Amino acid sequence: KTKKISHVGIAVKSLEAALPLYRDVLGMEFEGTEEVAEQKVRVAFFISGESRIELLEATSDDSPVAKFIEKNGEGVHHLAYEVDDLSAAIAALQGQGVRLIDTEPRRGAHGTSIAFLHPKATGGVLTELCQPGKH
């Protein structure tokens, strides 16, 4: 069972170029950046009230984020929902025959444990499940 939206992921060409909009124009609290090497991305988190925005920048040409921007341009990349027990959530989805990108939890930003559902199984919305503080 999903809880709240953990964050909205937005693909950008440059974190530095996007930073002033989120921090200064929209007035969000900038939490800093982190490289998630396995995902070939660098991310920046912003807090907006009780919600989080994650900006994603590719760190290589074969990054999923680079491919996304090449195809669609910059924009909303994924929605992440928080769950209490990611392994149980993955097992439940598999039990319902849902196509997954990750059948095992893997490391996301901020020491979270994450798994992506395939956008073909979710009406074109790349969907992430996220368990805080697991990895």
**In whole angstroms, what is the distance from residue 36 CA to residue 107 CA?**
8
CB 41, min distance to ligand CMX, A: 5
Would you say 59 or 87 has its CB closer to ligand CMX? 59
> Would you give the end-to-end CA distance of the chain in angstroms?
20
| Comparison of 12 and 109: residue with beta carbon closer to ligand CMX | 109
Nearer to ligand CMX, 27 or 133 (CB): 133
DSSP string of 59-87, one letter each residue: SSTTSHHHHHHHHH-SEEEEEEEE-S-HH
Residue with tokens 């559902």: 117
- CA nearest 100: which of 110, 87, 84? 87
Name which of 36 and 89 has its Cβ closer to ligand CMX: 36
Q: How far is the CB of 106 from ligand CMX (least distance, A)?
A: 9
User: Nearest-CA neighbor of 113 among 97, 95, 135?
Assistant: 135
By C-alpha distance, which of 134, 65, 125 is closest to 104? 134
Q: Report which residue's Cβ sits closest to ligand CMX.
A: 64
* Least distance from ligand CMX to the Cβ atom of residue 125, Å: 6
Give the footprint of ligand CMX on this chain (CB under 6 A). 9, 36, 39, 41, 56, 64-65, 67-68, 71, 77-78, 101, 108-109, 114, 116, 119, 124, 126
Question: Shortest approach of ligand CMX to residue 108 CB, angstroms?
Answer: 4
